[in-house]
Amino acid sequence: SLAERRDPVLGPPTLSVGVVRGGHAPNIVPDRATALVDRRMIPGETHESLTAEFAQALAGSPLTFDCHVEKPPLGVPQDSPAVVACGEALRALGLESAPTPVAFGTDAGLFDEAGMPCIVWGPGSILQAHTKDEYLKLEQLEAATRFFVRLFGG
């Protein structure tokens, strides 16, 4: 049913079983097992609706679940003033200006939920972020600096 729900920009919500733990040997049935699941929400879903969804899916089984981290999705409309202003600043500098959904976590959804329009934009590639060899090319930093100066009226 996840694939049936779609956000026009972000697509469907996702669910990934990232870690499974249990047992001590392959020939022994474990007395317990744990799975760590990453469930990404889309706009319109809430912690409460997600909790109800898991409770319904597990009803009648001995399985239990706990939610340890909850962050709302970021769903800023493409025509919001923040997105439009960023697009104008990027185009003025000859940079890519099409809003693009991302599949990584951010605290931006918390600000959005609190009524503060928020976008996620920055130099570099997410592929290098939070790695032991994280880096940023100087020309990316320079382009980002020009963008922020343009955006904030410098």
The pTM for the full model equals 0.67
Does any domain span residue 7? yes
Nearest to 1 by CA among 49, 67, 70: 49
Domain identity same for 102 and 136: yes
100 and 144 both lie in a single domain: yes
What is the rounded average pLDDT of the residues 39-49? Answer: 87
- CA Rg value for the chain: 20
Kindly state the average pLDDT of the residues 60-79: 85
The mean of the pLDDT values for the chain is 89
The answer to whether residues 65 and 87 belong to one domain is: no
Determine contact, residues 89/150, Cβ cutoff 8 Å: yes
Domain that holds residue 96: 81-151
Residue among 68, 67, 71 at smallest CA distance from 105: 71
Domains contained in the chain, number:
2
Q: What is the CATH number of the domain that holds 112?
A: 1.10.150.900
Same structural domain for residues 13 and 60?
yes
Query: Mean pLDDT throughout 29-33?
Result: 94
pLDDT of residue 154: 61
Same domain, 49 and 23: yes
Residues 6+ apart with CB under 8 A from 14: 2, 38, 39, 40, 103
Q: Is the pLDDT of residue 58 over 90?
A: yes
Verify that 92 and 129 share a domain, yes or no: yes
- The residue whose two tokens read 């026009």 is 8
